[in-house]
Amino acid sequence: MRTKKLFILTMILVLLSGQAVVAQNTVNNVKLYELNRQKHRTNINVPEIDGYKTLKCDFHMHTMFSDGIVWPTLRVAEAWYEGLDAISITEHLENNPSRPHIGGDDNSSYEIALPASKDYNILLVRGAEITRSMPPGHLNALFISDANKLDVKEPLDAIMEAHRQGAFITFNHPGWKAQQPDTCLLFDIHKELIEKDVIHAVEVFNENEWYPIALGWCIEHNLAVTGYSDIHEVSSHYYPLDKYHRPMTLVFATERSIEGLRDAMFARRTVAWFSKYVAGPDHLLQPLYHNSVTVSKLKNSDSKGRTLVEVRNNSDFTFELQPVNADFPGATLQPNSTELIRLDPVKAPARLQYTIANWFIDTGKNPTVTHQL
Amino acid sequence: MRTKKLFILTMILVLLSGQAVVAQNTVNNVKLYELNRQKHRTNINVPEIDGYKTLKCDFHMHTMFSDGIVWPTLRVAEAWYEGLDAISITEHLENNPSRPHIGGDDNSSYEIALPASKDYNILLVRGAEITRSMPPGHLNALFISDANKLDVKEPLDAIMEAHRQGAFITFNHPGWKAQQPDTCLLFDIHKELIEKDVIHAVEVFNENEWYPIALGWCIEHNLAVTGYSDIHEVSSHYYPLDKYHRPMTLVFATERSIEGLRDAMFARRTVAWFSKYVAGPDHLLQPLYHNSVTVSKLKNSDSKGRTLVEVRNNSDFTFELQPVNADFPGATLQPNSTELIRLDPVKAPARLQYTIANWFIDTGKNPTVTHQL
Amino acid sequence: MRTKKLFILTMILVLLSGQAVVAQNTVNNVKLYELNRQKHRTNINVPEIDGYKTLKCDFHMHTMFSDGIVWPTLRVAEAWYEGLDAISITEHLENNPSRPHIGGDDNSSYEIALPASKDYNILLVRGAEITRSMPPGHLNALFISDANKLDVKEPLDAIMEAHRQGAFITFNHPGWKAQQPDTCLLFDIHKELIEKDVIHAVEVFNENEWYPIALGWCIEHNLAVTGYSDIHEVSSHYYPLDKYHRPMTLVFATERSIEGLRDAMFARRTVAWFSKYVAGPDHLLQPLYHNSVTVSKLKNSDSKGRTLVEVRNNSDFTFELQPVNADFPGATLQPNSTELIRLDPVKAPARLQYTIANWFIDTGKNPTVTHQL
Amino acid sequence: MRTKKLFILTMILVLLSGQAVVAQNTVNNVKLYELNRQKHRTNINVPEIDGYKTLKCDFHMHTMFSDGIVWPTLRVAEAWYEGLDAISITEHLENNPSRPHIGGDDNSSYEIALPASKDYNILLVRGAEITRSMPPGHLNALFISDANKLDVKEPLDAIMEAHRQGAFITFNHPGWKAQQPDTCLLFDIHKELIEKDVIHAVEVFNENEWYPIALGWCIEHNLAVTGYSDIHEVSSHYYPLDKYHRPMTLVFATERSIEGLRDAMFARRTVAWFSKYVAGPDHLLQPLYHNSVTVSKLKNSDSKGRTLVEVRNNSDFTFELQPVNADFPGATLQPNSTELIRLDPVKAPARLQYTIANWFIDTGKNPTVTHQL
Residue ranges with strand state E in D41-200: 41-42, 53-58, 86-89, 123-131, 138-142, 168-171
Cα D280-D285-D286 angle, rounded to 5 deg: 150
- pLDDT tens digits for A239-292? 999 999 999 999 999 999 999 999 999 999 999 999 999 999 999 999 999 999
Please give chain D's pLDDT, 373 residues, in tens: 344 454 444 444 444 443 443 444 578 999 888 888 878 999 999 999 999 999 999 999 999 999 999 999 999 999 999 999 999 999 999 866 668 899 999 999 999 999 999 999 999 999 999 999 999 999 999 999 999 999 999 999 999 999 999 999 999 999 999 999 999 999 999 999 999 999 999 999 999 999 999 999 999 999 999 999 999 999 999 999 999 999 999 999 999 999 999 999 999 999 999 999 999 999 999 999 999 999 999 999 999 999 999 999 999 999 999 999 778 999 999 999 999 999 998 888 889 999 999 999 999 999 999 999 8
Q: Do B121 and A38 touch (CB under 8 A)?
A: no
Q: How confident is the model at residue A27 (pLDDT cuts 50, 70, 90)?
A: confident
As a whole-number percent, the residues of chain C with pLDDT over 90 amount to 84
Interface check for D23 against chain B (CB to CB < 8 A): the answer is: no
Average confidence (pLDDT) over A56-71 = 96
D contacts of C308 (beta carbons < 8 Å) = 121
Q: Do C119 and D332 touch (CB under 8 A)?
A: no
Q: Which residue of D has its CA nearest to C311?
A: D41
Q: Do B42 and A340 touch (CB under 8 A)?
A: no
The CA distance from D102 to the nearest CA of chain A, in Å, is 5
Higher pLDDT, B81 or B13: B81
Average confidence (pLDDT) over C30-59 = 93
Return the pLDDT at C25: 54
Contact indicator for C322, C355 with CB cutoff of 8 Å = yes
Mean pLDDT of chain B: 92
Of C37, C73, C177, the CB nearest to B239: C37
Return the pLDDT at D15: 43
Return the pLDDT at D25: 54
DSSP assignment of D170-189 equals EE--TT-TTT-SS-----HH
Mean pLDDT of chain C: 92
In this structure, how many other beta carbons lie within 10 angstroms of the beta carbon of residue A144? 26
Nearest to B30 by CA among D307, C206, A206, C280: C206
Q: Do B43 and A312 touch (CB under 8 A)?
A: yes
Interface check for D8 against chain B (CB to CB < 8 A): the answer is: no
Nearest to D243 by CA among D168, D335, D330: D335
H helical segments located in C267-373: 282-290
Of C40, C116, C121, the CB nearest to D298: C121
How many angstroms separate the Cα of A321 from the Cα of each of A302, A313, A331, D289?
A: 22, 12, 5, 54
With b for 16 or more beta-carbon neighbours within 10 A and e for fewer, the A300-316 pattern comes to eebeeebbbbebbbbbb
Chains that touch A (3 or more CB pairs under 8 A): B, C, D
Q: How confident is the model at residue C8 (pLDDT cuts 50, 70, 90)?
A: very low
Residue B251: enclosing H or E segment and its boundaries?
A: strand B248-253
Interface check for D118 against chain A (CB to CB < 8 A): the answer is: no
Chain D (70-99) residues lying within 8 Å, Cβ to Cβ, of chain A = 70-71, 73-74, 77, 81
Q: Which residue of C has its CA nearest to D298?
A: C121
Cis peptide before A345 (omega within 30 of 0): no
Interface check for A360 against chain D (CB to CB < 8 A): the answer is: no
β-strands A86-89, A53-58 pairing:
parallel
Return the pLDDT at C19: 40
Return the pLDDT at D97: 61
- pLDDT tens digits for B315-335? 999 999 999 977 899 999 999
Q: Do D10 and B13 touch (CB under 8 A)?
A: yes
CA distance D354 to D328: 10
Interface check for B20 against chain C (CB to CB < 8 A): the answer is: no
Interface check for C21 against chain D (CB to CB < 8 A): the answer is: no
Chain A (178-207) residues lying within 8 Å, Cβ to Cβ, of chain B = none
Mutate which: A34, A81, A118, vs B, most B CBs within 10 A:
A118
Return the pLDDT at C100: 86
Cis peptide before C136 (omega within 30 of 0): yes
Return the pLDDT at B24: 47
Interface check for D296 against chain B (CB to CB < 8 A): the answer is: no
Please give the DSSP secondary-structure letter assigned to residue B171: E
D contacts of B21 (beta carbons < 8 Å) = 7, 10-11
User: Three-state SS for D266?
Assistant: helix
The CA distance from B332 to the nearest CA of chain A, in Å, is 9
Higher pLDDT, B107 or A39: B107
Return the pLDDT at D96: 65
Q: Please classify residue A333 by burial: count the beta carbons closer than 10 Å to its beta carbon, then call 0-12 exposed, 13-18 middle and 19+ buried.
A: buried
Q: Do C9 and A7 touch (CB under 8 A)?
A: no
- pLDDT tens digits for C354-369? 999 999 999 999 999 9
Contact indicator for D359, D319 with CB cutoff of 8 Å = yes
- Look at B67-76, B318-327, C156-165 and tell me which has the smallest mean pLDDT: B318-327
- pLDDT tens digits for A94-120? 866 668 899 999 999 999 999 999 999
The CA distance from D334 to the nearest CA of chain C, in Å, is 8
In SS3 terms, chain A reads as: CHHHHHHHHHHHHHHHHHHHHHHHHHHCCEECHHHCCCCCEECCCCCCECCEEEEEEECCECCCCCCCCECHHHHHHHHHHHCCCEEEECCECCCCCCCCCECCCCCHHHHHHHHHHHHHCCEEEEEEEEECCCCCCEEEEECCCCHHHHCCCCHHHHHHHHHHCCCEEEECCCCCCCCCCCCCCCCHHHHHHHHCCCCCEEEEEECCEECHHHHHHHHHHCCEEEEECCECCCHHHHCCCCCCCCCEEEEEECCCCHHHHHHHHHCCCEEEEECCEEECCHHHHHHHHHCCEEEEECCCCCCCCCEEEEEEECCCCCEEEEECCCCCCCEEECCCEEEEEEECCCCCCCEEEEEECCEECECCECCEEEEEC
The CA distance from C154 to the nearest CA of chain B, in Å, is 28
- pLDDT tens digits for B223-256? 999 999 999 999 999 999 999 999 999 999 999 9
Mutate which: A19, A25, A31, A32, vs D, most D CBs within 10 A:
A32
As a whole-number percent, the residues of chain A with pLDDT over 90 amount to 84
CA distance A354 to A316: 19
Nearest to D276 by CA among D229, D237, D332, D324: D332
- Look at C98-107, C209-218, C306-315, C329-338 and tell me which has the smallest mean pLDDT: C98-107
Q: Do D14 and B10 touch (CB under 8 A)?
A: yes
Q: Do B119 and A302 touch (CB under 8 A)?
A: yes
How many angstroms separate the Cα of A58 from the Cα of each of A74, A245, B143, B314, D138?
A: 14, 11, 54, 23, 41
How many angstroms separate the Cα of A296 from the Cα of each of A291, A300, A309, C178, C233?
A: 14, 12, 6, 34, 29
Beta-bridge mates of residue C57: C86, C249
Contact indicator for B339, B355 with CB cutoff of 8 Å = no
Return the pLDDT at B7: 44
DSSP assignment of D210-229 equals E-HHHHHHHHHHT-EEEEE-
Nearest to B125 by CA among B134, B113, B137, B133: B113
Q: How confident is the model at residue C95 (pLDDT cuts 50, 70, 90)?
A: low
Of A43, A114, A340, the CB nearest to B338: A43
Average confidence (pLDDT) over A339-356 = 92
Interface check for D291 against chain A (CB to CB < 8 A): the answer is: no
- Pairs across B and C, CB distance < 8 A: 163
Nearest to D87 by CA among D70, D101, D103: D70
**Rounded to an integer, what is the distance from CA D302 to the centroid of its chain?**
39
Q: Output the pTM of the full model.
A: 0.93
Contact indicator for D65, D128 with CB cutoff of 8 Å = no
Of A9, A16, A20, the CB nearest to C13: A9
D contacts of B14 (beta carbons < 8 Å) = 10
Return the pLDDT at A6: 45
The CA distance from A339 to the nearest CA of chain B, in Å, is 6
Q: Which residue of C has its CA nearest to B238?
A: C37
Interface check for C22 against chain A (CB to CB < 8 A): the answer is: no
Q: Do C41 and D339 touch (CB under 8 A)?
A: yes
Q: Do C41 and D338 touch (CB under 8 A)?
A: yes
Nearest to D273 by CA among D91, D83, D122, D74: D83
The CA distance from A11 to the nearest CA of chain C, in Å, is 9
Chains that touch B (3 or more CB pairs under 8 A): A, C, D
Of C2, C7, C17, the CB nearest to A3: C17
D contacts of C118 (beta carbons < 8 Å) = 300-303
CA distance D76 to D42: 14
Contact indicator for A330, B110 with CB cutoff of 8 Å = no
Contact indicator for A183, A204 with CB cutoff of 8 Å = no
Q: Which residue of B has its CA nearest to A309?
A: B121
β-strands A123-131, A86-89 pairing:
parallel
The CA distance from D340 to the nearest CA of chain A, in Å, is 27
Interface check for D312 against chain C (CB to CB < 8 A): the answer is: yes
